[in-house]
Every structure is written in C-alpha cells, then in structure tokens.
Structure 1
C-alpha cells in the first residue's frame, strides 16, 4: 500500500484527479492539500469575445467529462482546502513532513519552493500537462494546436525540481485524438488518461527505470499567460476548421512526436 499526499487545486479537473487516485485499493491518500483558486465563471455574454467563449466552452466540457464522477464517487482523498499559493507556508510544510508519506504527488498546485523539494527529493512527483521539452510554461496543450502541431499535446510525469518543467522525465503520454474532436475534448480525455497513468506510476514507483533525458531541457518553446491572445485563439480555431484532426489522424506513427516511456509502465503492453 503506497501512502501519498496530493498537492493540487480546487477546480473540477483537480477534484477528479485526487478522487480517482484515492479510489485505488493499493493507494492510501493521507491528505490532499487543495489550493483555493479564484475561478472565473466565463459566459457567452459577449459573442464577439472569442477568448471568453473559448474559456466558457472549456468549463462546460470539463463539467461534461468530470462533474458526474466528482458528484457521485466517494471521496477518500481527505481534502484540506487552503488559500491560493499557501502550499509553501511553513505550517503546511511541517504537516506534510510529519505525515511521513511514501510519495508527494503534485497536480495543478502553485510552484513548489525549496523546503519540500529538498526534503522529499525523488519521492516528489509532478505531472506537466504538455510534452517536455517541446512546450514549457503556460498553455502547453493549447499552443501546439495554435502551431498546428497536435502531436505535441500530451503529459509529462517528472521528478519535481526548482525550475519550470525541467525535472527529470519519468514517463510521457500523448493525447488520444478522435474524429470530430475539438480542443476541449482532446484535453479532457488526456486528463482522464493522466489519472490512470498517475496511479500506475505510484504503484510501480520502485520499479521505475531512469530514462535518458533531453540534452537541453530548456530547448523547447516557452509560453506565458500573456501569450494567450485573441490572435492565438483565432489561429487555433482556424486550424480545427481546416481539418487539423483529420490531417493528424492520417499521419503515420513515425511522424508523431517521440516521447519517453518508462518500461515499468509499458511492460504489460509489450
């Protein structure tokens, strides 16, 4: 039985993740620290505002994928809701250390500072929604679609460090893309896959094999929140209108982005 602590947020996708992991019979969640984000309720009040419409559609899609599960499933994750950006407060650092987890698991929390990283070392795992080092920073599964590169939509599980998405990669998964998908379906299907992969990674932690890392972990494209512009959003929707999904599905596997896969998680598939 693996004993873990989850560091996350309070948005719907984060609630889904912690509850899904906690339901596994081989994992005991000692506590989940959930930072309270000020989530804005986007609406269609201004039909000309494509960015607002995009965010409203994202929220609705998350509800379609995750709301029923979050509402109906038992919560074994022992959530403790804390202020935004409070995870590095000394009181929570002390609590986490005193609980003596086998692993710390991060998804969607604030940037972690040195004390927790230094104490837990390789027993501190993170998932970056994006394929490192191809895309780093913010919107790492949005900007590949802006750049007409759906093969770079995915997730990277890594040992957490003090950089931005620069920890050693443990395992990566590519998004599953289906006919008639939009960007939100692709993203939420990936999050569901992240939850199941995270569970496998936790349970196989001792069997993980060190992987050869990219030569330059900062070689990819780095985006920030300010890069989420109307122009970028228009370009992404134009790509979908011009058959982005169909063209991607016709690509042979050899033309898709290479990813790092840990043998401990893929041995049953071989």
Structure 2
C-alpha cells in the first residue's frame, strides 16, 4: 500500500476515498472537515435571488447524496481527522510522513503548505474538479455550464505545486453528457467517471517509478471565490432552466471539445 490520501469531508470527497481505498493501494487517509455543504444565502439578497441560491445548493446536496452515498460510505474511517486550520500542522505532516507513502493524493482539501510538500519526502498529486488549464481554481464545475460549454466539464489530476492547479498534468477526464443532465448531475457524473478511470490506472501503477506529468503549455482562467455571485444563477435557472446540456445535445449551442490526456497508460 503506497498512497497517503488527503481529502475533504463532502460527499464527493468521501466517494473518491472509498473507491481508492478499495484498490488496496491506500496506506493512510487524512480527512479535513470542511465547511457546511449547504450554505446560507448572503444577507440582503432579493427574495427571488435568495430562492435561486437556496435551490442551487439544495440541489447540489440532493444530487451528491443520491449519487455518492447510494452505495454506502467508505469501508473504513479516516486514520487522521483535522479541521481546516490543522491541515498543515506539524502533527498532520508527521502522520503523513510516518505512514511511509510513495505518493500523496489530495482532493478537496485546503492548500498544502510548502513545508508539507517538502517534509513528507514523496510525490504529490492533486485531484482538481475542473479541466486545467482552461478551468482552474474555484467552482470549476459551475463555470463551463455558465459559459455555455458544459462539454468542458471535467476532472484533472496534476502534480501538486505552490501555484493554483498549475502542476504538470497526469490525467484529464471528461464524462460524456447524458440527456437530462442538470449542472449538478453533470458534475457528479464527471467525478464518477474520473474515479473509474483513475482507480483502474492505480491498480497497475509502479509506485517505485511514477510517471512524470506533462507541463501545462498555456495559461487558462483561474477562478477565485470572489468571481462567483448569486446573480450568475439567473442564466442557469431562469434563462436555460438548467437544461444547458440538452441544448448542446440538440445542437442549439456549440463550443470547444475537451483535449484529454494521460501519462498513466
């Protein structure tokens, strides 16, 4: 067993943890307890916009509970649990180092410090819910649909660096769209698809000779938390009735085709 897994605590994070643990390659699991999955709307929103906000996040919760908990939770409990302020504490770093990993895989946790990366003494890969370099940063399963190219929804596995989602690429995946997919169902489908592809590759990895990633040759948009506003929800729900995937499949919208890659083949 060669992977130290570091995840958040939301349903999608626990789903990937379960799938990776089932490959028999995980030697330790660190879980960071994240913020509430269904946030309260910001104060001062107009009633109709507050309603859209509540609908959006309640629907995300409904879909993730439906998709990611239907087969049960992880087969084991985390070996080490921390809050967001403790992920880079010396105790957490020591636990990761003492588990003796050849690879650390992170998903949905806070940024790992330079000291964490330097001290553990192995390779670090990060799972990013967006296609890098086109969609880096925050809410990157939201923005492709907002920009009317849901086919650019995907997941990236990259080498972990100090720069936001900019490390050399290990694997990119994008799930085929299915008629009737809402924004959140498409996001969940992409996480399911990535887990299937990555876990299949993990079983055949030579951890003593891990492949190098492919450097990102262009610089796409890095979305920050402040870029998203509740007003963006109007286009998704009021203009397109959360049917943007169907509009693409019907040929009413066109756009880019994702360029996918893997160094794990």
Question: Shorter chain as normaliser: what TM range?
Answer: 0.7 to 0.9
Please report how far the alpha carbon of residue 226 of structure 1 lies from its aligned counterpart in structure 2 after TM superposition.
2.1
Please report how far the alpha carbon of residue 235 of structure 1 lies from its aligned counterpart in structure 2 after TM superposition.
1.3
For residues 99-143 of structure 1, give each alpha carbon's deviation from its aligned partner in whole angstroms, at most 9, with x where no partner exists: 111211101011011122224577211111101111111111101
Change beyond 3 A, Cα 1:111–1:6: same
Change beyond 3 A, Cα 1:178–1:208: farther
Q: Quote the Cα distance in structure 1 between the aligned partners of 2:149 and 2:259.
A: 14
Match of 1:150 in 2: 150
Q: Quote the Cα distance in structure 2 between the aligned partners of 1:30 and 1:210.
A: 22
Tell me whether 111-120 or 139-148 shows the greater mean CA deviation. 111-120
Alignment counterpart, residue 32 of structure 1, candidates 26, 29, 32: 29
Q: Quote the Cα distance in structure 2 between the aligned partners of 1:84 and 1:168.
A: 26
**2:20 aligned with 1:21, yes or no?**
yes
For residues 27-64 of structure 1, give each alpha carbon's deviation from its aligned partner in whole angstroms, at most 9, with x where no partner exists: 23222111112315458998852112100110011111
Question: Does the CA contact (< 8 Å) of 2:49 and 2:231 recur in 1?
Answer: no
Match of 1:12 in 2: 11
RMSD: 2.8
TM-score, structure 1 normalization = 0.83
Question: Does the CA contact (< 8 Å) of 1:30 and 1:77 recur in 2?
Answer: no
TM-score, structure 2 normalization = 0.85
Q: Secondary structure at the match of 2:25?
A: strand
Q: Secondary structure at the match of 1:264?
A: coil
Q: Quote the Cα distance in structure 1 between the aligned partners of 2:125 and 2:263.
A: 17
Residue ranges of structure 1 left out of the alignment (5+ in a row): 266-270
Change beyond 3 A, Cα 1:100–1:82: same
Please report how far the alpha carbon of residue 75 of structure 1 lies from its aligned counterpart in structure 2 after TM superposition.
1.4
Q: Quote the Cα distance in structure 2 between the aligned partners of 1:214 and 1:14.
A: 25
Q: Secondary structure at the match of 2:66?
A: helix
For residues 184-223 of structure 1, give each alpha carbon's deviation from its aligned partner in whole angstroms, at most 9, with x where no partner exists: 110111111222223234334437655643323xx21222
Match of 2:176 in 1: 176
Q: Secondary structure at the match of 1:241?
A: coil
**2:38 aligned with 1:56, yes or no?**
no
Q: Quote the Cα distance in structure 1 between the aligned partners of 2:99 and 2:212.
A: 28
Q: Quote the Cα distance in structure 2 between the aligned partners of 1:79 and 1:11.
A: 17
User: How many residues are paired up?
Assistant: 256
Please report how far the alpha carbon of residue 257 of structure 1 lies from its aligned counterpart in structure 2 after TM superposition.
2.7
Alignment of 1:12-161 (within 5 A): 12-24=11-23, 27-41=24-38, 48-71=50-73, 75-76=75-76, 78-119=78-119, 123-161=123-161
Question: Does the CA contact (< 8 Å) of 1:179 and 1:246 recur in 2?
Answer: yes
Higher helix proportion (structure 1 or 2): 1
Please report how far the alpha carbon of residue 76 of structure 1 lies from its aligned counterpart in structure 2 after TM superposition.
3.7
Match of 1:268 in 2: none
Residue ranges of structure 2 left out of the alignment (5+ in a row): 42-46
Match of 2:44 in 1: none
Q: Quote the Cα distance in structure 1 between the aligned partners of 2:50 and 2:160.
A: 40
Question: Does the CA contact (< 8 Å) of 1:145 and 1:239 recur in 2?
Answer: no
Question: Does the CA contact (< 8 Å) of 2:183 and 2:242 recur in 1?
Answer: no
